[in-house]
Amino acid sequence: MTSDVFALGLLWYVVFLLSTTCHEAAHALVAKLGGDLSAFHGGQVSLDPIPHIRREPFGMILFPILTYATSGWMMGWASAPYDPEWASRHPHRSAWMSLAGPAANFSLAILAAILIHTGIAAGVFSQPDTARFNHMVQATGAGAAAGAATFLSLLFSLNVLLGIFNLLPLPPLDGFGVVGLFMSEERARRFEGMARSLRSYSFVGLLIAWQVFGQLYDPLFDFSLRALYPLTSYSG
């Protein structure tokens, strides 16, 4: 592994850790506001990654490092506990909890886009000739600005990916829980019960979601590029 690949991996991991921590902290906060203190008592209403790592050390440390070392692409997962009985009593609150994670990812992507355009306006960054996942903007000079450009590129791209992927309406993804927002309270309660019964098939749902997302990724990446640079015609 070269020093450049190692340095990129460090930036990948920092962005991954920030993104997953914000995602789960958002779930935990909205659950707390809705009356479920399960994640709060676990210390997960926090942007400190340590409580989240303690809950999912394999998904937040080992698997991301392994996937980056073997494929150059970092993947992993995190989770926040919640009370199923609370979700059954308050299905709409549970649905808002589900939506909070992807909303946090989109918020981080928007923040990255604002910082990218601020850097361009200040002359620190410029638009790249060709955009890639980790090259959505480029520095006009070397040093810290180049690292910041890569960091913001990853922050934008990864959070767009995470936000959209998690909104797919398949268990165990957040999008499946969000469906309850479009139902009456009683129908949402029955839907919540069905979602719990499908928990044992979560791995199947993830496999299907990954296949579906594989077909959606290119057009979604192009859409995110157009959103970031609406006056530019190039695509990924």
Three-state SS sequence of the chain: CCHHHHHHHHHHHHHHHHHHHHHHHHHHHHHHHCCCCHHHHCCCCCCCHHHHHHHCHHHHHHHHHHHHHHHCCCCCCCCCCCCHHHHHHCHHHHHHHHHHHHHHHHHHHHHHHHHHHHHHHCCCEECCCCCECCECCEECCCCHHHHHHHHHHHHHHHHHHHHHHHCCCCCCCHHHHHHHHHCCHHHHHHHHHHHHHCHHHHHHHHHHHHHHHHHHHHHHHHHHHHHHCCCCCCCC
Residue-wise pLDDT tens digits, 128-172: 998 999 999 999 998 899 999 999 999 999 999 999 999 999 988
State if pTM tops 0.75. yes
Would you say residue 235 has pLDDT above 80?
no
- Which of 22-31, 32-41, 83-92, 225-234 is least confident? 225-234
How is the chain split into domains, by residue range? 3-228
Would you say residue 1 has pLDDT above 80?
no
pLDDT for res 236: 47
Spatial separation of the C-alpha atoms in residues 21 and 28, rounded to whole Å: 10
Tell me the percentage of the chain whose pLDDT exceeds 70. Answer: 98
Spatial separation of the C-alpha atoms in residues 157 and 79, rounded to whole Å: 21
Backbone angles phi, psi at 190, to 5 degrees: -65, -40
- Which of 37-41, 71-75, 135-139 is least confident? 71-75
pLDDT for res 193: 82
Q: Which two tokens stand for residue 24?
A: 């789960």
How many other C-beta atoms are found inside a 10 Å radius of the C-beta of residue 53? Answer: 17
pLDDT for res 107: 98
How many other C-beta atoms are found inside a 10 Å radius of the C-beta of residue 50? Answer: 10
pLDDT for res 92: 96
- Which of 27-36, 127-136, 201-210 is least confident? 201-210
- Determine contact, residues 45/111, Cβ cutoff 8 Å: no
Spatial separation of the C-alpha atoms in residues 34 and 160, rounded to whole Å: 26
pLDDT for res 234: 61
Mean of pLDDT values over 89-95: 95
pLDDT for res 142: 85
Mean pLDDT of the chain: 93
Would you say residue 71 has pLDDT above 50?
yes
